[in-house]
Structure 1
């Protein structure tokens, strides 16, 4: 079994922020609901304190993470290195969603480059930090970020993105409320 930490210290913060990709997992309360895990990337994640993290949430194909967080707040984030030193770090906690117009939204988006696909921010109060070996994770090299989210958002424009969110992010695949219209 790996190590469990009280919080995120400066060394762990530097390691987390150096990872080009991470995963967020959430689930609804209903036993027949769908568990969701999503990969994330870009310059969107911040360690805000020893027990608080957050990220800028971009418009994607669905709204599961937001819907699950609004229903029950449970979340697990996972970071793993793909370089020569294996490591997996999981952050368990409770998350909330902040939308444009809320102070937390502007505080977090100010820490990252502006992105036309931004729809919300998520703030997580971390209750457990664990570290495990990662010996089964393959060694891979990062060749670059994809720019498809930005290009799609720029092509759609502000009105097109708003329409997309209204049509596709109104509710989750399990019928939970997603983004307000």
Structure 2
């Protein structure tokens, strides 16, 4: 049986804090749907009705493009150990860039990272918990640090040059709103 709630309660907060990864889904009105796994220590609960996550530089910037076109976002976490549970946060999101005033509020919530691209601030509309009884059990070993090493080796200026080359439009040609 699924359970639908409108804010992060203590049980949900505990579940979120125990997860090592999450998945983010977005879509514009047309074109490709984007679904991305996220790891590292990049997710924060701001309040019972708001969460934020730090997005690191990657090969594409689909999430940012989709949020500009349609601000819907779904975040999913599922239990790979312990009691089965799949949790989805349905909400509306906006991107915050280091040049934005809000970065001073939300940026310090995350460890400094050479590859930081934007923070997505998500207003929670609904949270759904469902059984997850078919989700396999996995043992968490550790977070990979390869992306951090890659970004640190490039340096911030080369990371920004990469944005200009690869992160200004989506796969469907939509603008991402990336600020340089």
The answer to whether the aligner puts 1:163 opposite 2:161 as a matched pair is yes
Q: Deviations over 1:29-55 (max 9, x none)?
A: 11xx00000000111101111111111
RMSD between aligned alpha carbons?
Answer: 1.1
Partner secondary structure for residue 123 of structure 2? strand
Deviation at residue 102 of structure 1 after TM alignment: 1.6
Return the TM-score normalized by structure 2: 0.96
Partner secondary structure for residue 164 of structure 1? helix
Partner of 2:13: 13
Partner of 1:29: 29
Deviation at residue 14 of structure 1 after TM alignment: 2.0
Q: Deviations over 1:77-113 (max 9, x none)?
A: 0010100311000000100001112232232221121
Alignment partner of 2:137 out of 139, 156, 161: 139
Is the contact made by 2:115 and 2:156 (CA closer than 8 Å) also made in structure 1? no
- Could you tell me how far apart the structure 2 residues matched to 1:173 and 1:34 are? 8
Aligned residues: 179
Between 1:133-142 and 1:4-13, the stretch displaced more is 4-13
The answer to whether the aligner puts 1:38 opposite 2:40 as a matched pair is no
Partner of 2:113: 115
Q: Deviations over 1:151-181 (max 9, x none)?
A: 1101111121011111010100001111134
Unmatched segments (≥5 aa) in structure 1: none
Partner of 2:179: 180
- Could you tell me how far apart the structure 1 residues matched to 2:163 and 2:173 are? 15
Give the 5 Å matches for 1:66-81. 66-81=64-79
- Could you tell me how far apart the structure 2 residues matched to 1:41 and 1:109 are? 17
Partner secondary structure for residue 90 of structure 1? strand
- Could you tell me how far apart the structure 2 residues matched to 1:14 and 1:50 are? 12
- Could you tell me how far apart the structure 1 residues matched to 2:63 and 2:170 are? 9
Partner of 2:63: 65
Unmatched segments (≥5 aa) in structure 2: none
Deviation at residue 15 of structure 1 after TM alignment: 1.3
Partner secondary structure for residue 146 of structure 1? coil
